[in-house]
Amino acid sequence: MVGERRMAVLRAIVQDYVQTSEPVGSKALLERHQLGVSAATVRNDMAALEDEGLISAPHTSAGRIPTDAGYRLFVDRLSELKPMSGPERTAISAFLVGAVDLDDVVDRTVRLLASLTHQVAVMQYPSLTRSSVRHVELVPIGASRLMVVLIVNTGRVEQRVIESSRDLLAADGEQFIADLRSWLNAEASGHQLSEAASRLQSLPENFAPADRDLVRAVVRSLDDALVEESEERVVLAGTSNLIRFGADFPLSIGPVLEALEEHVVLLKLLVTMSNEGDTVAVRIGHENAHAGLSATSVVSSGYGGGANVVAGLGVLGPTRMDYPTTMASVRAVARYVSQILAP
């Protein structure tokens, strides 16, 4: 257990190294921070922190830099995140509220996060498997084609077109569409997508035998949309920000860029981290399972269109990161996105 005095020394080392990118020595610590102890005490505390694996010496005669474990302790001991200023909150809200649809929300979010944090921003599209049905609409396209529109609680819209053997524009066709629309929404609206798909399976039995094939076709089209997992995807922005931190990657930036190209890696990472809810989660260095991300840190949060988390968003950068500011930015943006997507 690291006591408060040594924690203050570790905190000072992290802050100085993040700011300067130079190893930190005891003399610099005493000059820049009001630690209230002697130089000998600081040297002893630094030696103890090194013994515990929290800081290390990159060169024999250099100062010290935080290790992954040191950053982890620093993050775990953060008592509170720096709140966003009034102008910052106003700017975030104005930028995101102007979005016209879900694609625009995602695009604006990653660009905003990359700009705020100067890191790579990544956002997972709302997961269909975590979403619920808001509304089902049926729209006849001529007399023999029917568009089935699924609207989920995150604003995501799925469309399918099916063929009909009956005249959908005739009076009885219009009544059939109205009845089917009512049944579909009564059974599916407000339910998780997997549950909605199950509830709709027996729906054809509520209709006349002559209409059941068409009802089954509508249910199948919704079922395809409800269970289609290939739609899961992520969007990135700010990859060029990594170039500014080239010296922070021990070997080269190549493995990081390769990992970013593997969207399935990022998707799995965001899904895992968003399972922690709408709190801010941090993965540091070797805590990331993918080898290409072992020199990076990922800060993420879940977001949702209501009480439930439907996906994740966050930023990725070198372990030498301004964690308090980055975590505050991710938290603020996730909350605004959740408000925008709320029903």
pTM exceeds 0.95, yes or no: no
Asked whether residue 128 carries a pLDDT value surpassing 80, the answer given is no
> Are 94 and 136 found together in one domain?
no
> Are 169 and 242 found together in one domain?
no
Residue 81 belongs to some domain of the structure: no
Total count of domains within the chain: 3
| Structure confidence at residue 60 (pLDDT) | 65
> Are 17 and 45 found together in one domain?
yes
pLDDT category of residue 226 using cuts at 50, 70 and 90: low
| Structure confidence at residue 277 (pLDDT) | 64
What would the 3-class secondary structure string for 164-185 be? CCCCCCCHHHHHHHHHHHHHHH
| Structure confidence at residue 230 (pLDDT) | 43
> Are 240 and 336 found together in one domain?
yes
Q: How far apart are the C-alpha atoms of 312 and 275, rounded to whole Å?
A: 9
| Structure confidence at residue 49 (pLDDT) | 94
Tell me how far CA of residue 124 lies from CA of 110, 264, 298, 331, in angstroms. 10, 11, 14, 15
Task: Kindly state the average pLDDT of the residues 98-105.
Answer: 83
Residue 282 belongs to some domain of the structure: yes
> Are 245 and 279 found together in one domain?
yes
The CATH number for 321's domain is 3.30.450.40
> Are 215 and 335 found together in one domain?
no
Task: Kindly state the average pLDDT of the residues 95-113.
Answer: 88
Amino acid (one-letter) located at 93: S
> Are 122 and 51 found together in one domain?
no
> Are 98 and 29 found together in one domain?
no
Length of the chain counted residue by residue: 343
Asked whether residue 182 carries a pLDDT value surpassing 90, the answer given is yes
Q: Look at residues 208, 230, 252 and tell me which one is the last residue of a structural domain.
A: 230
Q: Look at residues 55, 76, 97 and tell me which one is the last residue of a structural domain.
A: 76
Asked whether residue 22 carries a pLDDT value surpassing 70, the answer given is yes
Q: How far apart are the C-alpha atoms of 10 and 65, rounded to whole Å?
A: 9
Enumerate the H helices of 263-322 as residue ranges. 263-274
Q: Look at residues 230, 251, 275 and tell me which one is the last residue of a structural domain.
A: 230
The CATH number for 219's domain is 3.30.390.60
Torsion, CA 111, CA 115, CA 120, CA 123, rounded to 10 = -40
Task: Kindly state the average pLDDT of the residues 253-271.
Answer: 85
**If DSSP codes are grouped into helix, strand and coil, which group holds residue 325?**
helix
> Are 251 and 172 found together in one domain?
no
| Structure confidence at residue 92 (pLDDT) | 87
> Are 123 and 269 found together in one domain?
yes
Task: Kindly state the average pLDDT of the residues 287-292.
Answer: 88
pLDDT per residue as tens digits for the range 134-158: 899 999 998 889 999 998 877 778 8
> Are 103 and 192 found together in one domain?
no
Query: What is the residue range of 151's domain?
Result: 130-230
pLDDT per residue as tens digits for the range 305-341: 555 788 899 999 999 999 999 999 999 999 989 888 7
pLDDT category of residue 229 using cuts at 50, 70 and 90: very low
Instruction: Specify which of 22-31, 73-82, 111-120, 126-135 reaches the highest per-range mean pLDDT.
Output: 111-120
The CATH number for 29's domain is 1.10.10.10
User: Edge-to-edge strand order for the sheet containing 234-237?
Assistant: 234-237, 120-124, 311-318, 296-303, 280-284
Tokens 């579909």, located at residue: 184
The string of DSSP codes covering 215-273 is HHHHHHHHHHHHH-GGG--EEEE-GGGGGGGGGGSSS-SHHHHHHHH-HHHHHHHHHHH
> Are 114 and 245 found together in one domain?
yes
Which secondary-structure segment (H or E) carries 137? strand 133-141
Average per-residue pLDDT for the chain: 86
Residue 159 belongs to some domain of the structure: yes
Task: Kindly state the average pLDDT of the residues 282-304.
Answer: 90
